[in-house]
Structure 1
Amino acid sequence: MLAERLPAVLPPLTRQESLEVTAVHSVAGILPPGQPLVDTAPYCAPHHSATMQSLVGGGNGLPRPGAVSLAHRGILFLDEAPEFSARALDALRQPLESGHVVVARSAGVVRLPARFLMVLAANPCPCGRHTLHGAGCECPPSVIRRYQARLSGPLLDRVDLRVDVRPVDRADLLGRGGRGESTETVAARVRGARERSAARLDGTPWSVNSEVPGHELRTRWPLGPGALASAERDLERGLLTARGVDRVLRVAWTVADLAGHDRPTARDVALALELRTGIARGATALAGVAS
């Protein structure tokens, strides 16, 4: 449900983005009738039995767009992510880094856009009950390890936010719990954050924080003294890779934009680390964080 709400939370596509998405959908033959221009973020949710070709593109003859291209400028949602084949999941690593995919076949080579927001959903174990302090979970530890290892380290290194979703309790199920924010409220906050990042990145080749190389963030928009100290310590301890530090920095800028800060503070970086590692850093939770 959360993944399905993301297209409504994201800002409308710009004219250039609309043209890019419309071109891909037109080539794939899935452009909706009577809608010559796609103006909202696309949402693609392939089944876990999808092949590598259906995810990244391919087929006989001239390659056709896959799910990563159909989700360009939008959401790619992989439910039951560990059930996808390891080969298909690892094929996502290159488009996640470059924003495009190159497919070579005997009929030719095609370069397709693939800049998407990937959302993975996974149970903690095959039976799904491992988080409840082991209550009711019948999976042996070796089975749990093998199941969780289906998501490779290099793929998870490209996942910026990792959130454990707690089980629904009786109060939530019966409607007595507190109500969350509406999609419109969250969307307005995201629009404000996007406007702040767009103003900062005006005149550069990038439009959002996720596109900015880490080197540029560190040199062109440096943080205050000591703001990255916690991330640097994690890098020295081997808890973060160099890629992970760059991604934490990008998320910290998004947190700062959502909070209205001119640049990320040490608390913003701590929250970005919490969201990446799941380890509490003493940061105050920021309601409605979106990246």
Structure 2
Amino acid sequence: MSYARVLCVGLVGMTGQLVEVEADLSPGLPGVVITGLPDTALHEARDRVRAAVVNSGQRWPNRRITLNLLPATLPKFGSAFDLAIAAALLGGSGELPLAPLDGVVLLGELGLDGTVRPVRGVLPMVAAAAKAGIRRVIVPAPNSAEAAVVPGLRVRGVDTLHRLVAFVRDGAPLMDPPARVPAPTGPGTDLAEVAGQGLGRRALEVAAAGGHHLALIGPPGAGKTMLAERLPSILPELDDTAALEVTALHSIAGLLPADGGLLRRPPFQAPHHTATVPSLVGGGSGLARPGSISLAHRGVLFLDEAPEFGKAALEALRQPLEHGRVLLTRSRGTAEYPARAQLVMAANPCPCANPAGDDRCECPPLTRRRYLGRLSGPLLDRIDLQVRLSPMRAAELMASVAPEPSAVVAARVVAARSAAATRWSPLGRRLNAEIPGPALRQSPWRLPAEDTAELRARLDAGSLSARGFDRVVRLAWTIADLDGRDRPDKQDVAEAIQLRTGEGM
């Protein structure tokens, strides 16, 4: 037999597709040709596979070898095809009976010594295989715990090509996924560690309850970074759907922890202010990989010292913040990644950032305006809460009454989110921040005219945009949810305006 076929999975962005790896061996000048839109890593597979086959004690066929990856119109990326290519090649040469691999997906990169090395993106690949009706997969042993997360699949691990050959030829056992050990939980960060800053704590709670974006502006030592880093501690754990999305994104980026289980805690990303556009929204050679905003999906993206970020990097966040996804188009294909993250920005009011406040600021007015002016109007218009924090006072720092811990605040956040999810279920939404503006302005959720009079006046005066109008209304709904009311009232709208504009703080 000179033809064989083995199944694998190709990954474009987060979308996986079943790929048939065909091998045809024919008489002629010995050589290997790979077709089916392979990238550079796949072109190099012929050298890796040849060395791995020989060093695993198998005979390399001295014939003309054609390897085809179907569908041929789908771009193929990475080294996850190595194991399937080796199996198809050995099957086509007659060295290996491939009946035991019928309907089995093979994933893995081969080392020159025949070891099977882990690859990125195993979770979305295996999930795509399961969706296509596959029930058995063989993956690198270090990826087996990750693959076992997908229900309805029989997952086996393999550490060498020799072990796979022994399984196919003699029925030798493969490796079971390791038993999942719960990740150790340490004390972590807690809101109880933040002294004072009642306004900042309130803004953080509102942001968590409604999924709103937040900007914290204040002098050094006011607690901006401490508050932002504790936002994940009051967010609820991810449900199954969100956990699978977040874990798949981290799998593609190669950032999954060793246990390979689902990530249940909302992720937290805090890139340095020298971060580039590709590192924030995604990029890289070949097919673009997820950036920080996608790795923070269903969690928090924290930009500390936000005015110090490059203008292009900050402006690149505008579209993902609006649509909750990133569409990256490159010459070899288009990748789409979810990016529904909560943005939290922290900024000093001016370059000198004198902690004593405005009375001792060394910056001229023009310098102050230019500094915060690095945060463009269109970007700030997408930030629901814009809070100005005051310098810490001795009475707050030395207060004898302990602040509320994260567990107490998190309970209120869960209750508020539950109320919002019940209310918005007819629209298929769960968070107030996700509700389209037209829905908020229509019955039965339209607020009375007397409650929105101040909002409408600001809109007519041009001090509030239409987008800002809708975001204030969303904030008012979140405030009502936190306080246990069915609908916002005039006071909720007034507080929402204050949190949105920073006035009177």
Q: What's the counterpart of residue 211 of structure 1?
A: 434
Q: What's the counterpart of residue 161 of structure 1?
A: 385
- Answering whether residue 299 of structure 2 is matched by residue 62 of structure 1, we say no
Q: What's the counterpart of residue 152 of structure 2?
A: none
Query: For the residues of structure 1 that align with 2:457 and 2:396, how far apart are their CA atoms?
Result: 39
Structure 2 length normalisation: TM-score?
0.54
**3-state SS in 1 of match to 2:388:** coil
Aligned mate of 1:188, from 407, 411, 414: 411
Q: What's the counterpart of residue 179 of structure 1?
A: 402
Q: What's the counterpart of residue 200 of structure 1?
A: 423
Q: What's the counterpart of residue 125 of structure 1?
A: 350
- Answering whether residue 477 of structure 2 is matched by residue 261 of structure 1, we say no
- Answering whether residue 439 of structure 2 is matched by residue 241 of structure 1, we say no
Preserved contact between residue 162 and residue 276 of structure 1 (Cα < 8 Å): yes
Structure 1 length normalisation: TM-score?
0.92
Preserved contact between residue 228 and residue 269 of structure 1 (Cα < 8 Å): yes
**3-state SS in 2 of match to 1:202:** helix
Query: For the residues of structure 2 that align with 1:134 and 1:33, how far apart are their CA atoms?
Result: 52
Q: Deviations over 1:16-38 (max 9, x none)?
A: 11111111111111011104201
Query: For the residues of structure 1 that align with 2:314 and 2:410, how far apart are their CA atoms?
Result: 30
Q: Identity percentage over the alignment?
A: 54
Name the stretch that deviates more: 222-231 or 205-214: 222-231
Query: For the residues of structure 1 that align with 2:419 and 2:483, how far apart are their CA atoms?
Result: 10
Instruction: Write out the 4+ residue segments of structure 1 that deviate beyond 6 Å after TM superposition.
Output: none
Q: 1:178–1:165: structure 2 CA closer, same or farther, 3 Å change rule?
A: farther
Cα distance, 1:131 vs. partner? 6.9
Equivalent AA in structure 2 for residue 127 of structure 1: C
Preserved contact between residue 171 and residue 177 of structure 1 (Cα < 8 Å): no
Q: 1:150–1:130: structure 2 CA closer, same or farther, 3 Å change rule?
A: farther
Query: For the residues of structure 2 that align with 1:76 and 1:166, how far apart are their CA atoms?
Result: 23
- Answering whether residue 28 of structure 2 is matched by residue 28 of structure 1, we say no
**3-state SS in 1 of match to 2:328:** strand
Q: What's the counterpart of residue 115 of structure 1?
A: 340
- Answering whether residue 476 of structure 2 is matched by residue 252 of structure 1, we say yes
Query: For the residues of structure 2 that align with 1:147 and 1:224, how far apart are their CA atoms?
Result: 39
Q: What's the counterpart of residue 368 of structure 2?
A: 144
Query: For the residues of structure 1 that align with 2:358 and 2:316, how far apart are their CA atoms?
Result: 34
- Answering whether residue 261 of structure 2 is matched by residue 40 of structure 1, we say no
Preserved contact between residue 355 and residue 391 of structure 2 (Cα < 8 Å): no
Query: For the residues of structure 1 that align with 2:396 and 2:428, how far apart are their CA atoms?
Result: 45
Number of equivalences: 279
- Answering whether residue 497 of structure 2 is matched by residue 277 of structure 1, we say no
Structure 1 unaligned segments of length 5 or more: list them: 282-291
Cα distance, 1:177 vs. partner? 5.7
Query: For the residues of structure 2 that align with 1:212 and 1:131, how far apart are their CA atoms?
Result: 41
Equivalent AA in structure 1 for residue 393 of structure 2: D
Query: For the residues of structure 1 that align with 2:446 and 2:492, how far apart are their CA atoms?
Result: 14
Name the stretch that deviates more: 189-198 or 222-231: 222-231
- Answering whether residue 275 of structure 2 is matched by residue 50 of structure 1, we say yes
Structure showing greater radius of gyration is 2
Aligned mate of 1:91, from 299, 316, 320: 316
Q: Alpha carbon RMSD of aligned pairs, Å?
A: 1.5
Preserved contact between residue 18 and residue 38 of structure 1 (Cα < 8 Å): yes
Name the stretch that deviates more: 272-281 or 109-118: 272-281
Cα distance, 1:178 vs. partner? 4.3
Preserved contact between residue 10 and residue 187 of structure 1 (Cα < 8 Å): yes
Preserved contact between residue 124 and residue 130 of structure 1 (Cα < 8 Å): no
Query: For the residues of structure 2 that align with 1:215 and 1:183, how far apart are their CA atoms?
Result: 34
Cα distance, 1:200 vs. partner? 0.7
**3-state SS in 2 of match to 1:115:** coil
Preserved contact between residue 276 and residue 313 of structure 2 (Cα < 8 Å): yes
**3-state SS in 2 of match to 1:47:** coil
Q: What's the counterpart of residue 286 of structure 1?
A: none
